[in-house]
Structure formats: structure tokens, C-alpha cells
């Protein structure tokens, strides 16, 4: 083998290796990104399902204080719902990039991270009904920015009709 052959071969091998490693790095990054996205989605679904279930059967929800407002958005929500058959006060609150849950008077704990800080103010939307007093619908808008790049936003929404509110408010004099 001549020196020229050796140089050309080495150069070609280097190009091939660089291409392969570049591809591997890219695939690895995509895989990690996908895994992170999946984990965030799973966490969001779990939290959203739990909140939806509890709010749907809530007997009392933080009311809208402004008598002229039909809809109000907020970063926190307090409601009373049945936990193992016992009426329990639950508070969800977004602070920074974390969503915390507080049960009764116990300390709040984090249930979801990486919240999109630009969307926490509209995390909960409470809407009055027209035929009964008080809040009848709660819309939850979870928006999360997974830690892995490229920066993306995952968003899950749930609109909950409070099943126990109509029954407890209609007709009672």
C-alpha cells in the first residue's frame, strides 16, 4: 500500500465514521427526546385524569367572586370532593413550573413539573351555568415544556361538567 492509498483510505474511513457517529448521536437524541416527551405525557395524563375525576364529582368548587363575570381563569383551584366516601378539600396550585396538590390541611406536594410558566395563569377556567347558581364547568389546560431539546410544548385539555352541582342547587328553596 502506498502512502497515497493509506491517506485516501483513512480519509474515507474518517468520513464514514463521522457520518455514522453523527447519525447515532442524532438517533440517540431523538430517542431521548421521545422518551422524555412520553414520560411528560404520561405524567400529564395521570394528573389530568385524577383532577378530572375529582372535580367531576365535586360538591363545592371555589366560586367566582365577581358577580358580573361568567368565566374566570386562575392558576389554582380549590374544591370539595369525595375521597373514599369522605368530603375532602383539595387545592391544586401552579407556582413557577410546578403544580402542587394539597389535601385538606396537609402540606402541599408537587404532582407535575416543567409547567409552561407562560400558561399557568390560565390553568383553570371556571364557568357559571345559566340555570343554576354557581360554577358548573371547569376547564383544565395543562401545558408542559419537556426538559429535552428541541423546546416544545405539550398541551392536554379537559372540560369537566360538575355532576353534583346541578343536583345540589336546583329547586332548593
- Which residues 6+ apart lie within 8 Å of 164 measured at CB? 57, 58, 59
Q: Binding pattern to other proteins, positions 81-120, x when CB under 8 A?
A: -x-xx-----------------------------------
| Binding characters for other proteins, 15-54, by CB under 8 A (x = yes) | -----x---x--xx-xx--xx--x--xx--x---x---x-
Residues 79 and 106: their CA atoms lie apart, in Å, by 15
* Near other proteins by CB under 8 A: residue from 8, 10, 63, 163: 163
Neighbours of 46 (CB within 10 A): 12
Whether residue 146 contacts residue 36, with contact meaning beta carbons closer than 8 Å, is answered with yes
The footprint of other proteins (CB under 8 A) covers 20, 24, 27-28, 30-31, 34-35, 38, 41-42, 45, 49, 53, 56-57, 82, 84-85, 163-164, 167-168, 170-173
Amino acid at each position: 500500500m502506498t502512502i497515497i492509498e493509506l491517506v485516501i483510505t483513512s480519509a474515507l474511513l474518517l468520513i464514514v465514521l463521522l457520518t455514522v457517529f453523527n447519525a447515532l448521536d442524532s438517533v440517540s437524541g431523538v430517542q431521548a427526546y421521545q422518551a422524555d416527551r412520553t414520560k411528560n405525557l404520561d405524567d400529564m395524563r395521570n394528573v389530568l385524569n385524577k383532577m378530572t375525576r375529582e372535580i367531576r364529582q365535586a360538591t363545592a368548587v371555589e366560586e367566582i367572586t365577581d358577580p358580573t363575570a361568567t368565566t374566570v381563569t386562575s392558576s389554582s383551584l380549590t374544591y370539595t370532593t369525595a375521597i373514599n366516601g369522605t368530603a375532602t378539600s383539595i387545592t391544586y396550585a401552579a407556582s413557577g413550573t410546578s403544580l402542587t396538590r394539597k389535601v385538606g390541611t396537609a402540606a402541599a406536594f408537587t404532582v407535575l413539573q416543567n409547567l409552561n410558566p407562560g400558561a399557568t395563569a390560565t390553568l383553570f377556567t371556571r364557568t357559571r351555568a345559566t340555570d343554576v347558581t354557581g360554577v358548573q364547568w371547569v376547564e383544565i389546560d395543562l401545558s408542559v415544556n419537556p426538559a429535552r431539546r428541541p423546546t416544545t410544548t405539550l398541551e392536554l385539555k379537559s372540560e369537566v361538567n360538575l355532576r353534583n352541582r346541578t343536583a345540589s342547587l336546583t329547586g332548593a328553596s
